[in-house]
Amino acid sequence: MAAGAATALCWEEAQGIVKEVEALFGSVDIAGIVAGFTPDAVARFGDFPEMRGRDAVEAFIRARFARQKNYRLEKHLRMVMGDLIGNDWDAQWEDAKTGRRMRGRGMEFWRMRGHQIAQWDAVFNVWEEGSATSIAIV
């Protein structure tokens, strides 16, 4: 295989990676989360500016956990195609600034290099628990 060539993942392998990431986020293991990204990772999360490199991803993760207290997460593998993993997640937390109970749902794709994320593309909807929808499309 040529240097840098993609390695196809099987369903079981991808499921293991998704569950490992779920556990790392659930235990707020920032070092473990960051180690799961390649040094040159590219991340696009919602409407945040594109992040390049592991240091940028770490700064984003640290900022998230400073705001998201008692974070609880459940991820579900949805697809595997070659080196691409697609999953969704449901999360709950308390907002550190407002004290409000929050919920979120996201979808993401990870382009893998080995067992590390080289590209992270994610969308995420957030709302206050018990509130009406905030998506202004209907």
Give the pLDDT confidence of 91-116 residue by residue, as tens digits: 999 999 999 999 999 999 999 999 99
Domains in the chain (CATH in brackets) are: 11-51+75-128 (3.10.450.50)
| pLDDT value, residue 114 | 93
Instruction: With a cut of 80, say whether residue 46 has pLDDT above it.
Output: yes
Going by C-beta distance under 8 Å and a sequence separation of 6 or more, which residues neighbour residue 123?
A: 46, 106, 107, 108
pTM of structure:
0.90
Contact 134, 127 (CB under 8 A): yes
Sign of the alpha-carbon torsion through 23, 27, 25, 118: negative
| Tokens found for residue 71 | 């974070």
| pLDDT value, residue 136 | 64
Instruction: With a cut of 60, say whether residue 2 has pLDDT above it.
Output: no
Instruction: With a cut of 90, say whether residue 48 has pLDDT above it.
Output: yes
The strand order across the sheet containing 101-113 reads 51-52, 37-45, 116-128, 101-113, 84-95, 68-81
